[in-house]
Amino acid sequence: MFCIHCGSRIPDAANFCTGCGAPVKREAASAARPPTAQQTPAIDVQPAPAATPHTSGRQYKCRWCGTVSDGTQLSCPGCGATLDAPAVSTRSGWAQLPGRKDMAKLQFGNSFCQIEGLYVPVADVNLAAGDGIYFTHHVLLWKEPQIDITAMPLAGGWKRMFAGMPLIMTQARGPGHIAFSRDAPGEMIALPLQPGQSVDVREHLFMIATSNVKYDWFSTGIWFTTKSSNNDTETHHPVGMFMDRFFAPQTPGLLLLHAAGNVFVRELAANQTILIKPTSLIFKDPAVQMGLHFEHPQVGFTAWGSWGNRYLWLRLWGPGRVAIQSVFDRVEGESRNIQSYSSATIQRW
């Protein structure tokens, strides 16, 4: 039996998960009778194909990242997801980031990355000779002295400075060990990128990437303006002024992100729309489009001034993947009187 939250193996007699402490729910008592409409669970648990550790000649495709392995490990070598944990998704279409065992090991090139810890995870990277990674300098936790570290300048320095983004990336080359961590609880997301694949990431969530992954950034085009008490116009960017774009042109690469709280992923069909809180966005496929959405509640005249622009959403439409985090910040200026904005849809109710 495995925990549906973290993927750890649970002893048969245990009432709580030994990995994350979540209570164990057993459905044996209710299995004898079919559920009524009121008893229908909101979460569908689908058993994963059984992994066959220490067995050669069998291939296993990870449901999370698509990496194909030989099935000799209990976790995916591409993203660290537990291979034999059940798939958990809601009826609304969101799938939770699959459980990962502590000390899960990922492989890229001739190097390895071991994810240590579950509350504030650490990425312990064993770089082989000639292999390299790049990262933002503030996530570096420790390193061995022989690791060679240099600066990696970025294009568009002035624009990045005004947007509050890093002006340089730091790069490291092996051989040797180097480790990274964000000084906040949350989940570490491993995103293997196949040749030709790219992903858009909201700013300040990136941790490290392998050197064969190309980095670029672009303007989100999502903004609105408000007027302050002294009549000055202020511009707000709900998902940030820029987004990061990572691309693997010819060889597979690995990208590590850090998210607050729990991570949920959804695959949007063509033209399918979802409304999310702007600061909950983690990443999206480049084909997924973005725009603002305003909802105006029908309330009395006296309350209209404070509620008129209160509900502000980020509208996403497919096709492609979207990932969100359960911990998010309030958008600055969303409760003020909005003067102008980028392309948006409006609903009054």
Query: What are the strands of the beta sheet with 104-108, ordered from one edge?
Result: 104-108, 111-116, 122-127, 176-181, 140-143
User: What is the helix (H) or strand (E) element at residue 157, kind and residue range?
Assistant: helix 157-162
Neighbouring-strand partners of residue 187: 259
Dihedral sign computed on CA atoms, order 325, 93, 63, 270: negative
Structure tokens at 100: 């990962």
pLDDT for 248: 93
- On whether the CB atoms of residues 220 and 281 are closer than 8 A, the answer is no
pLDDT for 347: 87
**pTM: predicted TM-score of the whole model, two decimal places:** 0.75
Query: What are the strands of the beta sheet with 132-135, ordered from one edge?
Result: 148-153, 168-173, 132-135, 206-210, 253-259, 187-193
pLDDT for 56: 45
How far apart CA 317 and CA 94 sit, in angstroms, is 15
Q: Which CATH superfamily is domain 102-348 in?
A: Mitochondrial biogenesis AIM24 (3.60.160.10)
Place of tokens 């509050």: 164
pLDDT for 1: 60
pLDDT for 32: 40
| Residues whose CB is less than 8 angstroms from the CB of residue 13 and which lie 6 or more positions away in sequence, other chains included | none
**Residue ranges covered by each domain of the chain:** 1-12+42-99, 102-348
Neighbouring-strand partners of residue 96: 264
User: Largest alpha-carbon pair distance within the chain?
Assistant: 72
How far apart CA 181 and CA 237 sit, in angstroms, is 27
Per-residue pLDDT of the chain (349 residues; tens, 9 = 90+): 666 666 666 766 666 666 666 666 654 433 444 444 444 344 444 444 444 444 445 676 776 776 777 666 666 776 776 666 555 566 777 887 766 666 778 888 889 998 888 889 999 999 999 899 999 888 999 999 999 999 887 766 556 665 566 667 899 998 999 999 998 888 899 999 989 999 999 988 999 999 999 998 899 999 999 987 778 889 999 999 889 999 999 888 999 999 988 899 999 999 999 999 999 999 999 999 999 999 887 765 544 444 455 789 999 999 999 999 999 888 888 878 888 999 999 888 7
